């Protein structure tokens, strides 16, 4: 049995704001944390609402000179697990939600994601997000946390959210 910490990263499957504006995951907001998790010896599982290949916001594509460094992260995004295949928070130590405009379309009302966020919060596990990820994680997670005699964490304040916008 592995003793490595396990991180679940949930990314968007959504690829358009409208017919004239493609979108998706903001690549750097996934790639940098993913690479750091791997470098620290964490086991990383990447899931998305539909599974499979993830759309990358075209304005966040790595520059040609950065492409080789990002190749492993890019490769992982070609074959994500469908979110519904994640049984629950029990096998993970943390959940991370990277940003990108696509997250605002398919993650806020995703019942499986909201269930998972409630489990992570209820078990006092790490719930982390960047840029467009915090609104997704704070929309429903706190009321859904299971009841216990322990105090629940407070929802993140607006000042803890990233000032960077895509």
Question: In angstroms, rounded to a whole number, what is the distance separating the alpha carbons of residues 65 and 103?
Answer: 27
pLDDT for res 156: 44
- How many other CB atoms are found less than 10 A from the CB of residue 40? 10
Please check whether residue 166 lies inside any domain of the structure.
no
Instruction: Report if residue 151 sits inside a domain.
Output: yes
Q: How many distinct structural domains can be found in the chain? A: 1
User: Largest Cα–Cα distance of the chain, in whole Å?
Assistant: 53
* 52 occurs within a structural domain: yes
The verdict on residue 117 lying in a domain is: yes
165 falls within a domain: no
Q: Does residue 78 belong to any structural domain of this protein?
A: yes
What is the C-alpha separation between 138 and 90, in angstroms, rounded? Answer: 20
* CA–CA separation, 34 and 60 (whole Å): 16
E strand or H helix at 34, and its extent?
helix 27-39
CATH of the domain at 74: 3.40.50.880
Task: Write out the residue range of the structural domain in which residue 44 sits.
Answer: 6-160
Is position 54 within any domain?
A: yes
Element at 128 (helix H, strand E): strand 126-129
pTM of the model: 0.82
How far apart CA 150 and CA 112 sit, in angstroms, is: 24
* Residue 28 belongs to some domain of the structure: yes
Per-residue pLDDT of the chain (166 residues; tens, 9 = 90+): 568 899 999 999 999 999 999 999 999 999 999 999 999 999 999 999 999 999 999 999 999 888 899 999 999 999 999 999 999 999 999 999 999 999 999 999 899 999 999 999 999 999 999 987 776 665 554 444 444 444 444 444 444 333 444 4
Are the CB atoms for 128 and 94 separated by under 8 Å?
yes
Write down the pLDDT at residue 140. Answer: 52
160 burial (CB, 10 Å; 0-12 / 13-18 / 19+) is exposed
């Amino acid at each position: 049995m592995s003793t490595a910490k396990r991180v679940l990263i949930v990314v968007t499957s959504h690829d358009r704001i409208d017919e004239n504006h493609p979108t998706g995951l903001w690549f750097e907001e996934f790639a940098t944390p993913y690479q750091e998790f791997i470098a620290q010896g964490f086991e990383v599982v990447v899931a998305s609402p539909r599974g499979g290949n993830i759309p990358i916001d075209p304005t966040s594509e790595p520059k040609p000179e950065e492409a080789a460094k990002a190749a492993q992260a890019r490769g992982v995004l070609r074959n994500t697990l469908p979110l519904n295949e994640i049984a629950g928070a029990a096998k993970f130590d943390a959940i991370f939600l990277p940003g990108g405009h696509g997250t605002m379309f398919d993650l806020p009302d995703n019942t499986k994601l909201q269930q998972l966020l409630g489990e992570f919060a209820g078990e006092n596990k790490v719930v982390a997000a960047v840029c467009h990820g915090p609104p997704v994680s704070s929309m429903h997670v706190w009321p859904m946390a299971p009841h216990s005699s322990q105090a629940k964490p407070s929802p993140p304040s607006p000042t803890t959210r990233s000032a960077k916008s895509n």
